[in-house]
Structure formats: structure tokens, C-alpha cells
Chains A and B, each alone.
Chain A
Amino acid sequence: MRYSALRILREGLTGNKGWKSVWREPEPKAEYDIVIVGGGGHGLATAYYLAKEFGHKNIAVLEKGWLGSGNIGRNTTIIRSNYMLPGNEPFYEMSLKLWEGLEQDFNYNAMVSQRSILNLYHSDAQRDAFVRRANAMMLAGADAEIADADQLRAELPFLDFDNARFPIKGGLFQRRGGTVRHDAVAWGYARGADARGVDIIQNCEVTGFDIENGRCTGVQTSRGAIRAKKVAVCVAGSSGRVMEKAGMRLPIESHVLQAFVTEGLKPVIPGVITFGAGHFYVSQSDKGGLVFGGDIDGYNSYAQRGNLPVVEDVAEGGMAIMPMIGRARLLRSWGGIMDMSMDGSPFIDKTHIEGLYFNGGWCYGGFKATPASGFCYAHLLAKGEPHPVATQMRLDRFMTGNLIDEKGVGNQPNLH
């Protein structure tokens, strides 16, 4: 069923009796060509693009809980492509281009809002670093714009430009960045994949992999064994727990990242704004709440909640750039589990076990990557070789020395 304005009008006039379930709830079959483990944003996007772009039909997505119950439902909804390194930037720019056409492509309102993202800088050295980043972004086909303090004063008068400790000297704009309704991304991809014959199986936990002679032939699940020609794991946050069942150790630590929402306010913050001297980023949701976050807590964790020192640190970051935020009352906060990789960059790769594929290590930047991650993973699964923009996202890059370390802090996951 296609959604359109005409359809809404017709349903409105006929008592809204024609709407159907958005996806089926099928029983798992005994065998599939491709089984995707993890029904979050990346897994559903992978299934969608496999079916739509690469002509695969016999696919299942297995989800332990309910669809989209992981990080696709717990993030701060920001999209952007303001990376620098050649292993990353073309990939994230592809992702941003896919976001721009996504709603027309899967015929679902994901509320993609290109309201801009602004990274503030506070010193001359930081300006130079951001100019360099802006140049790298433009080389990869992305948009970037350096704004000085006068321009920002005109556009965002509420910022604390003359802060004694961290004066605001300017910022790096990416006008095409913005926010997306995160749950709708999962629902849109699920609906699109289901319509093309993909079986989305919820409440189906993978409990083990069938591996014979170095080849993965299927999975054991809480709803029985399922054979598969290819098994594609896509469970960022739980990567360690799942890949352990295949006997693999990963270059990943699991960490908790907290996020916060205030009470609903009238429109005050036009785009996404990030602090350059500490870790703080904020946007305003369409409901009016300020959505913000900062650093990970910094220690291994699978608990979806954090501790108070980071709450204080995030609040201080907010107060340093926009003191008006101190008047808003915090409604709720929550934590999500991040795959923090050893160089801060992700993996989309085969494993040493034939037929077993791995997608993970997204650190706290997985949401913006959803479309390109799905597309590139589907490309790898369908063609057996990586998509041109994802060739460096290899699992063995620490052995070969080809790290993608945007921050340059080395193999210390809690610093990325």
C-alpha cells in the first residue's frame, strides 16, 4: 500500500478502515539465502537494499526483541557528513545523499530535516583544524562553510560568545546536516523490506552459529535452527556478546553513552550545535524538547544506564556555550550501548569464517550511517566485495596498520 496525500484523504472520508499492518509477522522458514542478525536500523536497511538494489528475495531479519528496540530507538537523531579521513568521509557523504532521497525512496515519512549542524571553535588552532576538515569534506563532495563570530552573532545571538574560558571564535557549518525521526527510519526500512518479501522475525534470539570446517551454515535461535548460505551479523552494541558465540574476539569494547531531553520549549535552537572545547551537542526536537548529549561514561558497560559524573560534565558543556539552557528542566535521560572500536571507526567486512559477515564498531555515530551502512553491507553480501566507499572498514586493519583514526588517539576506545 503506497502512502500519499490522496490516500489520507480517501481514508479520512471512508472511516480509516483501509489501513493495513505495515509489515507481516511470518514464522521463520527452515532455510534462507541470507540471514541478517539484528533488526535495528542497519540490519533493516541491509535487508531493504539487498531486496531493492541487489535483487535478493530469500532473506530473513532476526531480532531478539521488538523491531528497532536497540540503538535506532535510543539515539540523538543527528545526520551529518563532517568527517575528514578518506576512509570515512566518502562513506558518510554517501549516507547523507541517501538520507536526502530516503523518504521518496521508501515512501515513508521519516521527517528528514536538514536544519544544519554547527561545530563551534574556540581558538585559532581549532579554526585551522576546522578549515582543514572543511576542505577535506568539500573534496569528498560534501558541503562545508566556515562562519566567523560576527556571522554567528547575527544568526545565533543566544550563544555565550564572550565566555571567559571558552570564547566562541566561529564555527564549521554543514547546512545539509540535520535530524531525522529515528524510529520512523526503522519502520520505513522494515516496511520497504517486508513489501519486497523479506521475512522480519521478531522475538527470535540467535543463541549460536553452526560452523563446520570453517564455514558458517546457519544459526541456532530461540525459535529453532535456521540454515543460511550467508549469515550477516549487524548488532552494534551487542557485537561482543554475539560474535563470542562464533568464537571471535573483536577490536571493540562496549561502552554506555547517555542522552538527555528537556521539557518542551518554543523553538529556540534552529539546528544542531556542538561545543568545541568539551563534548556537548544539542538540537531541538519537533516536539520542542532540547535533545542533548556528550561523552561516553568511559568504562566497559552493557547496562543501558550511566552515572552522575557524566551528567554533570554534559550539563557544564551546555552551560558553557548557551547559559539559557540552565532554565530548562530535564525530563528524562537514558543510556545506550556503543561498540567503541580501537580507532573510532566501524567495520563492514567478511570474517575469517566463510559465510559469516560482520557489521559493527559504530562507536556513537551509527545513526547517521544507517543508509550507507545498509547499502554497503548489502553490496558486500551480494557481490562478495566491499562497496568502493567502504573498502577501508576492514576487521584486519589493526594487523595491517591501516587504521582510520579520526581523532588520532590510538587504541584507547574510551577516548574516541
Chain B
Amino acid sequence: MIINHPLLGPRDAAEFVYLGDASLIDRPDWEAEDAAAQFHAYGYLRDNPAGAHQELWYHEQGDRSWLVVTRDTTTHEITQVELARDVARARGRDR
């Protein structure tokens, strides 16, 4: 697979480390009433879709940026690559 890095252009997926579903960006509020249940879902439960999947890849053998890659899990086709930083900020995170 080739990942089209937003800053570096097309890179071999073997340069990256895979973490998992990009929902891992959305860390729950530890002060919430149901924080235990929320963290259980955050840490252990996954949508695991057959089709478009947003996921976190880390460019360990490159510029060490975190990316959010949108990839089809039935064909491995990559349709969108964004910096995880930009995605997190768009979701209201400060960094």
C-alpha cells in the first residue's frame, strides 16, 4: 500500500506503524459520571467496519507525524490522508 502523506507525498506503508481506529483521538472525559463505561468502550470496543475506515498511522521511519488515513477495509484502497493534528483540531481539541 502507498500512503499519500500530506507533507511528504507518496510513501510506502511499510514506513508506518499502525495504531487502529481514529476514534482513539476522542479520549473520553475522565470526570464524567460514566467515565468507567466510556473508557471501556474507548479502550476495548471497536466498530470494525467492512468498508470505509478512518485509522491512525504513525510515520515512524519518516517525519514521525501521526496521520488519519481513510481506507476501505474490503479493498485496501486509500481515499483520504490527513494530518491527525488537523483532524483533532477540527474536532475541538487544542492540539
Listed in ascending order, the chain A residues whose CB lies under 8 Å from chain B are 240-241, 244, 249-254, 298-303, 307, 309, 342, 398-399, 411-414
Contacts and interface: CB of A to CB of B under 8 A. Distances in A.
B1 interface: yes
A252 B36 CA distance: 19
Contact of A307 (B13, B49, B74, B75): B13
B74 A303 contact: yes
Given A251-B44, A303-B75, A309-B14, 5 more contacts: A240-B48, A249-B48, A309-B12, A342-B44, A414-B20
11 contacts: A240-B47, A244-B47, A249-B46, A251-B46, A298-B18, A300-B48, A309-B12, A309-B13, A342-B43, A398-B44, A399-B37
A302 B75 CA distance: 8
A413 B1 CA distance: 20
A412 B19 CA distance: 8
B45 A250 contact: yes
B73 A302 contact: yes
B50 A250 contact: no
Nearest to A300: B73
A22 B42 CA distance: 47
Given A301-B73, A303-B74, A413-B20, A251 B49 contact: no
A303 B73 contact: yes
A88 B37 CA distance: 26
B1 to A, nearest CB: 6
B89 interface: no
Contacts of A309: 12-14
A21 to B, nearest CB: 34
B4 to A, nearest CB: 16
Contacts of B71: 299
B93 to A, nearest CB: 22
Contact of A250 (B1, B37, B43, B46): B46
A293 to B, nearest CB: 19
Nearest to B42: A411
Contacts of A299: 13, 18, 55, 71
B85 to A, nearest CB: 21
Nearest to A343: B44
Contacts of B21: 253, 300
A309 B50 CA distance: 23
B47 A249 contact: yes
Find the residue from A244, A251, A412, A413 having the highest chain B CB count within 10 A: A251
A251 B47 CA distance: 9
B59 to A, nearest CB: 14
Given A251-B44, A252-B48, A412 B20 contact: yes
Contacts of B14: 309
A411 B40 CA distance: 11
Contacts of B40: 398-399
The 3 closest A-B pairs by CB, nearest first: A240-B48, A398-B44, A309-B14
Interface string B70-90: 010111100000000000000
A194 B71 CA distance: 42
Contact of B43 (A240, A249, A398): A398
B76 A253 contact: no
Interface string B1-17: 10000000000111000
Contact of B76 (A301, A342, A411): A301
B20 to A, nearest CB: 7
B43 A307 contact: no
A399 B36 CA distance: 8
Contact of A302 (B12, B13, B50): B50
A392 B12 CA distance: 41
A342 B37 CA distance: 16
B41 interface: yes
A249 B50 contact: no
Contact of B20 (A253, A303, A307, A399): A253
Interface string B51-65: 001010000000000
A400 to B, nearest CB: 10
